[in-house]
Amino acid sequence: MKYKPPRSAVRALILHEDRVLLVNAFADQKSNLWCAPGGGVIAGQSLPQNLMREVFEETGLTIEVGAPALINEFHDPSSGFHQVEVFFRCHIVEGKIDPSWQDPEHVVTRRRFFTRDELAYIRVKPLGLAQAAWGQDCQYDPLEEIVF
């Protein structure tokens, strides 16, 4: 399989009351996989600008973007898809989770804060998410195969 050029993406690690915000980005709950909010980078905008836009679209929250916490790569050998994600530590400036919030693209169907202990009982990607969210250093999570 020939790989396509890597796609760039940004994700937010938002801790609130010692819980991390995750989203389920599968329409009709086709998967029980949770991930940090965020998405693809639009050229001509900074990574923080992209992240603020994506988090607002997916959650309705206005955030402030802090330092990078994790660089993650994943790929799909069958399709040639490869994505490089930069996770940033963020905090909420305005808003709260509203169950009625509608993602304009109707992809994110659920959003929820999880404790570190709860992460052990759900499917979450990337594997280094908890360490990055509650850690201090910037982590690198090497190439993982994509799962749904």
Residue 1 included in any domain:
no
For residue 37, the domain's CATH number is: 3.90.79.10
Domain for residue 113, yes or no?
A: yes
Domain limits for position 34: 7-145
Rounded Cα distance between 58 and 45, Å, is: 18
Domain count, the chain: 1
* pLDDT surpasses 80 at 33: yes
Residue 53 lies in a domain: yes
Question: CA 123, 126, 127, 129 torsion: positive or negative?
Answer: negative
- Cα 48 to chain centroid distance, Å, stands at 13
Residue 29 is predicted with a pLDDT of 66
Q: Please indicate, yes or no, if residue 107 is contained in any of the structural domains.
A: yes
Res 76: pLDDT:
87
Half-sphere exposure of 80 (CA within 13 A, CB side): 5
Q: Can you give the pTM of this predicted structure?
A: 0.92
